[in-house]
Structures are given as structure tokens and as C-alpha cells.
Chain A
Amino acid sequence: MSIPKQHIKEETTRNVARDFPLANFATHSKDSYDIEIDLAGVEKKDIELKIEDDYLTINATKKSQVNQSDYYLCESNFGLISRSFVLPKDVNREKISANYEDGRLYISLEKEELKKARNISIK
């Protein structure tokens, strides 16, 4: 059984991420986290964000209307973009929200109510 080489190449490159997006992580207080992911040139509809077990995974496709060989100089990477983050155990999975603006995806995470730091008044 032989598979044409061309076919193998296509198969393997189709589902392999070409780009690893840059991300910034911030902690506002002890109860909330922020993740920013740079996705310049990706349209909102091409972004998929999912939670699986303890992982928050972002998959996106950067499409180009232009044939890549038409560029004189092409520094961008097109194609699949993927990155996963391990979620802290205490994050409320229902309260994860994301916002896409200016080519950057902002994800905000919040701790579960029970796990949040709180002050106890002394009687």
C-alpha cells in the first residue's frame, strides 16, 4: 500500500498549527485573571475557544484573500493557529468571557465565589 507523497504532505500540514500566538497574562486581584492573545488578521468568526477538562484551547485560522506567492515579502504566518492554557482549579468555568478587539482576544477568568478571598469581620 503506498500513499502518494504529495498527499501525505497535504494531510500533515492541514491540521498542524503554523503559528503560536503571543499571549499576555495579567492578574488583577486575587480573584480574576486576564489573558490577551495576539491574533492580528484573524476574523472573529474564525476563532474557536473551548474548554476541555482543565484546558482552555484557542483555535483560529488566519485566512488570506491573497495568494501567498503574490507577496514580495511575507513575514506573517497564515493558516492554523492554536494554543492551550491550563486553567487553575478554582476558576469558575461558567464565567469565562472573551472579547475580540483590534486583532487581540481578551479572555477574562474569575474565581469561583467560594474560593474568592474575603474578609471576615471580627465581632
Chain B
Amino acid sequence: MLVKKYEPFNDIRKSFDLVNAIINSMNEEEPKEKNIVNFKPKINTRETQENYHIEVELAGVKKKDVDINVEGNILTISGERNVREEVKEEDYHKVESRYGLFSRNFSLPEKVDTSNIEAELTNGILEIIVPKITMDTSSQNIEIK
């Protein structure tokens, strides 16, 4: 007879292992999406009589790394924050800022002029100005023929 150590919980442990294996395999199979983001920048939004303003906090991001896109009524601000060229990534010993891809979406109101959206990046703040379409409010009388 084979002498074995008595382990009453072995079967239970094995079933746990099986469950863990299933969970792990599911994680691996998850497709890595391209548009996954690393962080969401802080934003402020406001409205004036003529425009809608969106301010995005993007400290240390260059103009060329930001992409603003309008599709239908969805305005997307996306881009990437990279480590400075002068500094190697492995030189950092404490990093509090978030690096990598970022993205934020906004649904625009109906009456906006999407072809005249302006954006400006100053001191790490990206300001996007979305002009409203001004309706001619002067009343018009219609003659009855």
C-alpha cells in the first residue's frame, strides 16, 4: 500500500485550482483593445452666449500629441502623454502623474457649428471653443395669397 499523507482538504483545494484556472484563462483571452486609456484628464465645461467652452488639464503634453475629433455629435479629445525625451523612463524613481493614452468624450448639443471649433493649448490647459449656431430671431411676416 502506498503511504500517503492524509490531506482531507486536497479535493476542495483542487476544485479551487480549477476555478482559478478558468478565471485566469478568461483574463488572458480578453482581447487587448487599442483604444484602452490609461487616464482621464480633468475637465471643466462652461457656456457663454456665443460658445461652449471645454477646458482640459494636460500638463506636460505637447500640441502634436493631442487629437481632437468630432464624429456626429460626439467630440473626442484623445492623445498620449509621453515621458520627456531628455529623461529615460527607468530614471524615474517616483512617478505621480499619469502617463500613456488618455481620452474623453463629450456629446455636443444640437445647435453647434462643428466646422468652426477652435482649440488652444496654453500652460497645460487645452481650451476648446465650440461656437453655437445663432438663429435669426427677427420675426418675419408671411403674406397670405
Query: Interface on A for B, CB 8 Å cutoff?
Result: 22-28, 34, 36, 38-44, 66, 70-76, 101-104, 106
Contact = CB atoms under 8 A, between A and B. Distances in A.
Q: B interface, how many residues as a size bin?
A: 20 to 34
B6 interface: no
B60 A103 contact: yes
Contact of A103 (B91, B93, B124): B124
B47 A72 contact: yes
B97 A24 contact: yes
B128 interface: no
Residue from A26, A66, A101 having most chain B Cβ neighbours under 10 A: A26
8 contacts: A22-B97, A24-B96, A34-B91, A36-B84, A40-B124, A44-B123, A71-B44, A103-B59
Interface of B: 42-47, 55, 57-62, 84, 87, 91-97, 121, 123-125
B96 A40 contact: no
A25 B59 contact: no
Given A23-B96, A102-B60, A104-B60, A38 B44 contact: no
Contacts of A103: 57-60, 123-125
A102 B46 contact: no
A73 B124 contact: no
A66 B58 CA distance: 19
A28 B124 CA distance: 25
Given A26-B92, A76-B55, A102-B124, A38 B97 contact: yes
Contacts of B93: 25-27
Given A71-B45, A72-B46, 8 more contacts: A38-B60, A39-B59, A40-B58, A40-B59, A40-B123, A102-B59, A103-B58, A103-B59
A73 B45 contact: yes
A72 B45 contact: yes
Contacts of A44: 123
B92 A40 contact: no
Contacts of A28: 87, 91
B3 to A, nearest CB: 58
Contacts of A70: 46
